Amino acid sequence: MDFRPWLMLVVLGGVTLGYALARSDIAGEQNTSFTFGLVGLGLVVLGALGVGRASFGSAGRGMGLVDLMREARLSGGVKVVAIGGGTGLPSALRALKQQTSNITAVVTVADDGGSSGRLRRDMKVLPPGDLRNNIAALADDESLMTKLMQYRFDSGELSGHAFGNLFISALSGVAGGLTEALGEIERVLNVRGRVLPATLDDVTLVAEMRVNGRHLRVEGESKIPEVGGTIEHVTLVPEPAAHPESVRAIMDAQLVVIGPGSLYTSILPSMMVGGIADALRATKAYKIYICNVATQPGETEGYSAADHVLALEQHIGRGVFQAVLVNTHYPEKNAGPNTRYVAPPPAHHEIYQRYEVREADLTDDARPWRHDGEKLAKAIKELLVVHRIGGGLV
């Protein structure tokens, strides 16, 4: 591997940092200096990591025979697309990456809160937070760069920002676009798979809600759960078009996993993007909806697994997935006073006529409101074996 392009990146980053420092004392140029400083820092880090990888050989060299055999086995695994966002989708990706390296995460870009929301408003970029979390989930967990991507500043003007959010935003401008920036980051982190936005359009999630008998229109993903009412319907404004790469990945997949994640603020904002649901209906992939283990305050309080499925049908119609994976284990230990488990569909409910409903113990013993990665992978694998899809997971 040639290290010279990476070395040039380090040099370019150093020059950019120097330019930022030179402008830092000029009145009215502090914001420009700050932005160039972030870009320069990101380029230096990215280039240095690239030089290191190039100097010590590709990922395969230096591996033991067992590691090489495992990598070869993973590269031949089933082609998976995982759709969603929030904290739920990364848990599914961590489980799946142990089984196959042919993974594409299609991620929501409707977030408008926290660090992502600030960057979205200040730098006019797509919110990077969900993209960052899913890249980290597919990367080497022990990598210094992965830890750096997840590092969050706790003081000063950068307080609350994750370094990875700043890096993705800056690199998008340098690399010529968000897709190109994600590709560069994935190469450096040796990601098993890739992460794509559901759309490249700037969208706002809008909810029609019922609060104390009154109808409210709430704009903004972060505001919806705070209202404390009942969500009747959500839409994306303006109506976005799907990222072509995301559509191609779905059409090429053998397995599509939808969720887990927040129903109204993570999963639906990904699936309501124009072209995504159509691609899901058209693909030959086997498609599984993974229902949440616990209900979410402000979104799905009192929902059963059947209610989750009916809400999806209300927004995107039927025929989008074939199976529903439902947790049936409700431990009290470690659950705490606020955990409310999602109940399975009532007996003889109508969804049993339209879907294959697979029930299993999916809870994480330490955090029972979340899925356990190994249990989830096992349940998915069993479905693939039954349907003889792609040889199943490895």
| Cβ 110 vs Cβ 272: under 8 Å | no
Distance of CA 132 to the CA centre of its chain: 8
Which of 37, 48, 40, 42 has its CA nearest to residue 3? 48
pLDDT of residue 269: 96
pLDDT tens digits, one per residue of 295-321? 999 999 999 999 999 999 999 999 899
What DSSP string runs through 91-104?
HHHHHHTTT-S-EE
pLDDT at residue 148, rounded to an integer: 78
pTM value surpassing 0.85: no
- 30-55 and 178-189 are packed helices; what angle lies between their axes, rounded to 10 degrees? 40
- Residues with pLDDT less than 50, the chain: 1, 57-63, 65-66, 68-69, 394
Question: Distance (Å, rounded) from C-alpha 183 to C-alpha 163?
Answer: 17
Give the model's pLDDT for residue 124.
Answer: 85
User: What pLDDT was estimated at residue 55?
Assistant: 56
pLDDT value, residue 257:
97
Integer Cα distance of 330 and 10 in angstroms: 52
Query: What per-residue confidence (pLDDT) applies to 343?
Result: 96
Which H helix or E strand runs over 163?
A: helix 163-175
Question: In the prediction, which pLDDT does 185 show?
Answer: 85
